Amino acid sequence: MKFFEGCTALITGASSGLGAEFARQLAPLASGLVLVARRNDRLEELSATLRSLHPELEIRIFQADLADSGQRYALADWLEKEKMDVNFLINNAGLGDHGHFDSSEWNRVQAMLDLNITALTHLTHLLVGRMILSGRAAILNVSSVAGFFPLPNMAVYSATKAYVTSLSEALSIELRPKGITVSALCPGPVPTEFFDIATRPGEEARASHFETFPAFVVSASEAVRDGLRAVANERARVIPGALLAAAVAVALVIPFCIIRRILAAKAASF
């Protein structure tokens, strides 16, 4: 994966799950990593482990709540001041909320919109100009297979991921002549902290997606490997796991009136 050799990658949501795995897989190749999330202790721990394995790697931590626009501006200013020229941006931080829309708490809905849509778009906007100047650069947006289907009981989440996939596809065309490849990673269920956090406080975790769709589950390391491969091969979109990729390809040619019935049947059993 030649592109990653000597790159400087900024990974949002690096304190757990896919974000931490991106850091682990890039560490042997990159020359610099910028790890961003709110939980500083987690970032410190990951950074110490990676530093002991790859002493030549420059690892920087930036603690930020990316839902806050002031902290996004502060991150961009700090990168400029520290002369960290990011040429690989991984917009990975994201949140879900599992349950009926009418009983959702507005704070959780707002947090999803702020992080999954606004923060991803704003951070890309803040960094893209300098990335273009660097000659060859890449952006990997972590979307979801949920972005292909309007999922009841994850309605806002799947709508935010439809936005991420759509934005990525358009930017992949727009930015390619300027030397930037843009890819959307669209995983199905991956065992991370995601579903625990998406479960509402006081509610029991329902039969998880891992139990409902065991054949579609991929590990974090597989999802990240497929995402990095898509970037290296300049692909606009990737769904990790051959079985899930095939199932989505089939579902996308089924008339939507049938998909709507399947989604309604699934929603009725919630």
Ligand X SMILES: NC(=O)c1ccc[n+]([C@@H]2O[C@H](COP(=O)([O-])OP(=O)(O)OC[C@H]3O[C@@H](n4cnc5c(N)ncnc54)[C@H](OP(=O)(O)O)[C@@H]3O)[C@@H](O)[C@H]2O)c1
Residues engaged in binding ligand X (CB under 6 A):
12-13, 15-19, 37-39, 42, 64-67, 92-95, 115, 142, 144, 187, 189-190, 192-194, 197
Which residue, 134 or 210, has its beta carbon nearer to ligand X? 210
Which residue, 65 or 179, has its beta carbon nearer to ligand X? 65
Show the 3-state SS of the chain: CHHHCCCEEEEECCCCHHHHHHHHHHCCCCCEEEEEECCHHHHHHHHHHHHHHCCCCEEEEEECCCCCHHHHHHHHHHHHHCCCCCCEEEECCCCCCECCCCCCCHHHHHHHHHHHHHHHHHHHHHHHHHHHHCCCEEEEEECCHHHHCCCCCCHHHHHHHHHHHHHHHHHHHHHHHHCEEEEEECCCCCCCCHHHHHECCCCCCCCCHHHHCHHHCCCHHHHHHHHHHHHHCCCCEECCCHHHHHHHHHHCCCCHHHHHHHHHHHHHCC
Q: What angle do CA 230, 175, 181 make, to 5 degrees?
A: 15
CB of residue 194 vs ligand X: minimum separation in angstroms?
3
| Residue 13 near residue 19 (C-beta atoms within 8 A) | yes
Residue 73 known to be catalytic: no
Name the catalytic one among 2, 83, 157, 178: 157
Which residue, 84 or 134, has its beta carbon nearer to ligand X? 84
Which residue, 27 or 37, has its beta carbon nearer to ligand X? 37
Name the catalytic one among 2, 81, 83, 161: 161
Radius of gyration over every alpha carbon of the chain, rounded to an integer in angstroms: 18
Which residue, 3 or 194, has its beta carbon nearer to ligand X? 194
CB of residue 56 vs ligand X: minimum separation in angstroms?
25
CB of residue 217 vs ligand X: minimum separation in angstroms?
8
Residue 163 known to be catalytic: no
CB of residue 66 vs ligand X: minimum separation in angstroms?
4
CB of residue 141 vs ligand X: minimum separation in angstroms?
9
Active site residues: 157, 161
